[in-house]
Chain A
């Protein structure tokens, strides 16, 4: 499929019709222009919800992806010192925090 930024906006809202979910998602994985559009539209979305803007969204995406890539390459445990190492040493998923886990509820 070709670039369609209106569909990127609907993707952001989780409002794509089922039949186009896979093609739009597949396109995003290949198209840098639509990826940048996704970040722009997501910024407007969070600004509308919370009156809150990230100072440098592109920079943040780059740092996260760089950290993940480096970690894979170097096998470096790095951040996330807490909430790890239970028994087998695997990272604990938040669902496994137990009955009294976080009380705050996501608004979704």
Chain B
């Protein structure tokens, strides 16, 4: 587990709500992405993301740090989405179904739904692609190596033949430029326009 997550989890366990809020901010987009693989409705994704974090908060005292915090949270998100899909599609009371069955059945029901179609409308994808395309090559390359290929800063530094500090700066400036270019869609505290 990352050292920062460890600090935040320990504080949250002791009742520090702000520490849990930072974890929510850090991971809510990724949790929503996981849920959107199973659930197609945008507002439902938001509700279930909220539900997953509330479950995580309640289960936190039992989290012993044997896996990374995100791995643990990821499992809660997958189960939240699958249980919802099962109850919605089959009218089966969740408590009556073993989680492994939920896993099997729900994957047959829903995995063909792509988040792209539902969460991020065509115009948003276009804006995102345009924002990415508009970045300086070094920034785009650094961000893609990090976010798409999952490379560490150290690996990126080796690939791009530059210091790690430069990698960190390129990734930050690239992300910030995307935020700026997409400000119409990504304003803090603002919904992303009317529901589809």
The binding surface of chain B is classed by DSSP as helix
> Any chain A CB within 8 A of the CB of B110?
no
Q: How far is the CA of A43 from the CA of B33 in the complex (A)?
A: 11
> Any chain A CB within 8 A of the CB of B88?
no
Which interface residue of A29, A47, A84, A106 has the most chain B CB atoms within 10 A? Answer: A47
Judging by beta carbons under 8 Å apart, are A68 and B20 in contact? yes
Q: Which residues of A contact B103 (CB under 8 A)?
A: 102-104
Instruction: With A9-B175, A13-B171, A29-B22 as known contacts, state yes or no: A95 contacts B64, CB within 8 Å.
Output: yes
Q: How far is the CA of A80 from the CA of B52 in the complex (A)?
A: 8
Instruction: With A55-B191, A95-B64 as known contacts, state yes or no: A82 contacts B18, CB within 8 Å.
Output: no
> Any chain A CB within 8 A of the CB of B124?
yes
The binding surface of chain A is classed by DSSP as helix
Judging by beta carbons under 8 Å apart, are A101 and B75 in contact? yes
Judging by beta carbons under 8 Å apart, are A96 and B189 in contact? no
Smallest CB gap from B97: residue in A: A82
> Any chain B CB within 8 A of the CB of A74?
no
> Any chain A CB within 8 A of the CB of B46?
yes
Instruction: With A57-B28, A59-B189, A79-B54 as known contacts, state yes or no: A52 contacts B120, CB within 8 Å.
Output: yes
Of the residues B2, B128, B150, B172, contact of A107 by C-beta under 8 Å: B150
> Any chain A CB within 8 A of the CB of B40?
no
Q: Which residues of A contact B27 (CB under 8 A)?
A: 42
Judging by beta carbons under 8 Å apart, are A46 and B99 in contact? no
> Any chain B CB within 8 A of the CB of A12?
yes
Q: Which residues of A contact B16 (CB under 8 A)?
A: 29
Judging by beta carbons under 8 Å apart, are B32 and A38 in contact? no
> Any chain B CB within 8 A of the CB of A1?
no
**How would residues 91 to 134 of chain B score, 1 for a CB under 8 Å from any chain A CB and 0 otherwise?**
00011000110010000000000011001100011001000100
> Any chain B CB within 8 A of the CB of A10?
yes
Judging by beta carbons under 8 Å apart, are B195 and A55 in contact? yes
- Subset of 29 A-B contacts with CB under 8 Å: A13-B146, A15-B152, A16-B3, A21-B7, A25-B7, A35-B25, A38-B22, A39-B25, A42-B28, A43-B186, A44-B186, A45-B29, A47-B128, A50-B115, A51-B120, A52-B116, A54-B28, A54-B49, A57-B188, A58-B188, A61-B24, A68-B54, A80-B51, A84-B58, A94-B76, A97-B75, A102-B103, A106-B70, A108-B68
